[in-house]
Amino acid sequence: MNTEDLVRLLKTSSGDDAGCEEAFALLDQYVEAELEESDVEALLPAVAEHLRNCGPCSEEHAALLVLVREHMGI
């Protein structure tokens, strides 16, 4: 963490954020929507916002995306 990171963090959009629990509840739908190339920003905007802001949830989103992609043979 340096001062640039800190300022960037403070500047992060204050849009509607689903929070960790709701994002987790919808994460499977979000990932499948992404793989179907749906507009997840429009479908689940609060989840998209949360994934931009939350490191742990973002890591888990990336991991789930890889697993599901492999499972579906994409």
Partner 1 sequence: MSEMPPVTLTVTGRQGVAGSSAIAREALDAESRAWVQSLSVEGDERVQALKRLYDLLLRAARREGQERGRLVPVAGVELDDICQQAAGDALVAVTSKLDDFRGASRFTTWAYKFVVFEISVKLRRHPWRGRTIPTADDDPVWDRLAEDPRQADSRLESLDLVHALRQAVERELTPRQREVFKAVVLNEVPGDVLAERLGTTRGAIYKMVHDARRKLRRRMEAGGYMEPVAEA
**Counting beta carbons within 10 angstroms of the beta carbon of residue 8, is it exposed (0 to 12), middle (13 to 18) or buried (19 or more)?**
exposed
According to CB under 8 A, which one of 48, 52, 56, 73 is a site residue for partner 1?
56
- Least distance from partner 1 to the Cβ atom of residue 62, Å: 9
Give CA torsion, residues 67, 68, 71, 73, to 10 deg: -110
Cβ atoms < 10 Å from Cβ of 10: 7
- Interaction mask 17-36, partner 1, x per CB under 8 A: x-xxx--x--xxx-xx----
Q: DSSP 3-state assignment of 65?
A: helix
Q: Does 6 bind partner 1 (CB under 8 A)?
A: yes
According to CB under 8 A, which one of 41, 43, 51, 63 is a site residue for partner 1?
63
Q: Does 41 bind partner 1 (CB under 8 A)?
A: no
